[in-house]
């Protein structure tokens, strides 16, 4: 128990800042289509694990697209292993738009700035700092902890978690749960209220290609089979469609917790629950659940024609669709209906939706770890509107939770910084995260 009381040492608190900053300075921009090189960041992490006596394995499907996996043996051999994963790549950043250079890793006035400060070199650094402090203190966790630092999360994951799940499943033997990005950072819907949303699910991905066929011809002639008109009609119907409410177990649990917290008298288990009315009453806190009470489909790209006086025989559109757990069939049937007989649609890229139990011992421990270090905070489960590497690891039977704990100042709109301009994270928030992760990972 002495270790539990001790917590991370001051070196860990220094290292998390250094590691976040230095990882940001290693430009791992993922431009898509294979244009990224994570290897220098992977080597940075691997060297620091090795120096702490944790043996790293470097794995590549494609040269330069490096993943790092390591296992820390737990004290209880009968316990299932826990996966802690973080991606090493980041989305592009245009320096012209930023207050500081996005790859400077500058620490200014107690804040670390740069691309990846939020998504998600902060978490990569926190985990690294924690496990190194254990090595110094002679601490071993209860469960085996498998660390995975992945490539390619910001594109297809084919060189990252997808490759690891397909080709190196044995490295994850015994892992039943995982934690990673997008959750447990403080969210302040109004003064005096601090929520810590822990992700317990992700919507599925359904990227579609729509193709309208018609009769090609001269732009000055009557044409009742115009592919552009047909496509535009279908796209307009999809964009304007109001999807029916579909409450998953996680979202219903989130609504119940929020209603209770806000003193709203409503039975969130009722079949005829008026979700939109409840969201209205929740005010800014509704942002946690509003994106995940329905499937969604947004038109994002259009391609048709090459000359103003030529009607093309074909027109193409792309749709970013997202599906809730159990909502896949409804999604497909709705697309059949909205596209109509003249427009074909097909999946271009499809990923499963995820749902993790919120009444599990793991969720209870995650909640307790946050509330131990911020007793005034309220943990609320939520479902991510998009997806992460947890989808790939779910194929290995690993239940994923979004848990990258940070206690942030109320004035910082942290959610807006994901893939945003001036991405930054306060040093104090990193220290909070190190303390929470240290406690959770030791006792998980
Ligand atoms: Zn991310």
Q: What is the span of the domain harbouring residue 326?
A: 204-350
User: Is residue 363 included in any domain, yes or no?
Assistant: no
Decide: pTM greater than 0.95.
no
Phi and psi (nearest 5°) for 290?
Answer: -55, -40
**Which of helix, strand or coil describes residue 322?**
strand
How many domains is the chain built from?
A: 2
In a domain, 48, yes or no: yes
- Among 297, 332, 350, the domain boundary falls at 350
Series of mean pLDDT values for 10-residue runs along the chain (444 residues): 68 98 98 95 98 98 98 96 98 96 97 97 98 96 98 95 98 98 93 95 96 97 97 98 95 95 92 93 94 96 97 98 95 97 95 95 97 96 92 97 96 86 97 98 94
Tell whether 145 is covered by a domain: yes
Do the domain assignments include residue 187?
no
Do residue 212 and residue 136 come from a single domain?
A: no
Cα–ligand 1 centroid distance for 414 (angstroms): 13
Q: Are residues 134 and 261 in the same domain?
A: no
Q: Looking at the structure, do residues 332 and 278 belong to the same domain, yes or no?
A: yes
Crossing angle of helices 427-443 and 121-137, in 10° steps, is 60
- Clarify whether residues 258 and 320 are in a common domain: yes
Question: Of 89, 124, 152, 181, which one is the catalytic site residue?
Answer: 89
What pLDDT is attached to residue 1? 43
Please, what is the angle between helix 361-373 and helix 427-443, to 10°? 140
Query: Residue 136 maps to which CATH number?
Result: 3.40.630.10
- Whether residue 134 is found in the same domain as residue 282: no
**How many angstroms separate the alpha carbon of residue 309 from the centre of ligand 1?**
45
Residues 230 and 177 in one domain: no
Largest CA distance in the chain: 85
110 three-state secondary structure: coil
Tell me how far the alpha carbon of residue 116 lies from the centroid of ligand 1, in angstroms: 8
Is residue 380 situated within a structural domain?
A: no
In this structure, the answer to whether residues 118 and 34 fall within a common structural domain is: yes
DSSP code of 189? S
Q: Is 97 designated active site?
A: no
Taking the CB of residue 124, how many other CB atoms lie within 10 A of it?
27
* CA 91 to centroid of ligand 1, rounded, Å: 9
Last residue of a domain, one of 327, 350, 373: 350
């Amino acid at each position: 128990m002495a270790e539990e009381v001790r917590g991370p040492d001051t070196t860990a608190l220094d290292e998390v800042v250094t590691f976040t900053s230095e990882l940001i300075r290693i430009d791992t921009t993922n431009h898509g289509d294979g244009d990224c090189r994570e290897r220098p960041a992977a080597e940075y992490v691997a060297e620091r694990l090795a120096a702490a006596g944790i043996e790293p394995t470097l794995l590549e499907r494609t040269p330069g697209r490096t993943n790092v996996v390591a296992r820390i043996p737990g004290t209880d051999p009968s316990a299932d292993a826990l996966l802690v994963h973080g991606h090493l790549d980041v989305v592009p950043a245009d320096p012209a738009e930023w207050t500081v250079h996005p790859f400077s890793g500058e620490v200014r006035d107690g804040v670390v700035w740069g691309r990846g400060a939020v998504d998600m070199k902060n978490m990569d650094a926190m985990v690294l700092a924690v496990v190194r402090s254990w090595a110094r203190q002679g601490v071993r966790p209860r469960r085996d902890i498998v660390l995975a630092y992945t490539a390619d999360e910001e594109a297809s994951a084919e060189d990252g978690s997808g490759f690891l799940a397909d080709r190196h499943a044995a490295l994850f033997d015994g892992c039943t749960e995982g934690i990673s990005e997008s959750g447990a950072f403080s969210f302040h819907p109004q003064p005096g209220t601090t929520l810590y949303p822990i992700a317990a699910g992700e919507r599925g991905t359904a990227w579609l290609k729509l193709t309208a066929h018609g009769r090609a011809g001269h732009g000055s002639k009557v044409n009742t089979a115009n592919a552009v008109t047909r496509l535009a009609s279908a796209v307009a119907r999809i964009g304007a469609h109001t999807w029916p409410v579909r409450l998953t177990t996680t979202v219903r649990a989130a609504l119940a917790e929020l209603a209770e917290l806000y003193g709203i008298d409503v039975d969130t288990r009722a079949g005829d629950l008026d979700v939109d009315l409840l969201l209205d009453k929740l005010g800014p806190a509704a942002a946690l659940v509003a994106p995940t009470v329905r499937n969604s489909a947004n038109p994002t790209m259009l391609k048709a024609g090459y000359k103003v006086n030529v009607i093309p025989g074909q027109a193409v559109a792309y749709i970013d669709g997202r599906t809730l757990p159990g909502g896949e069939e409804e999604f497909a049937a709705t697309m059949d209906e909205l596209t109509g007989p003249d427009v074909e649609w097909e999946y271009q890229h499809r990923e499963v939706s995820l749902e993790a139990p919120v009444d599990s011992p793991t969720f209870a421990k995650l909640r307790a770890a946050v509330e131990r270090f911020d007793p005034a905070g309220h943990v609320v489960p939520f479902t991510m509107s998009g997806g992460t590497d947890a989808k790939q690891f779910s194929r290995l039977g690993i239940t994923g939770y979004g848990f990258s704990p940070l206690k942030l100042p109320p004035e910082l709109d942290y959610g807006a910084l994901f893939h945003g301009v001036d991405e930054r994270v306060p040093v104090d928030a990193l220290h909070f995260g190190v303390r929470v992760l240290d406690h959770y990972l030791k006792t998980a």
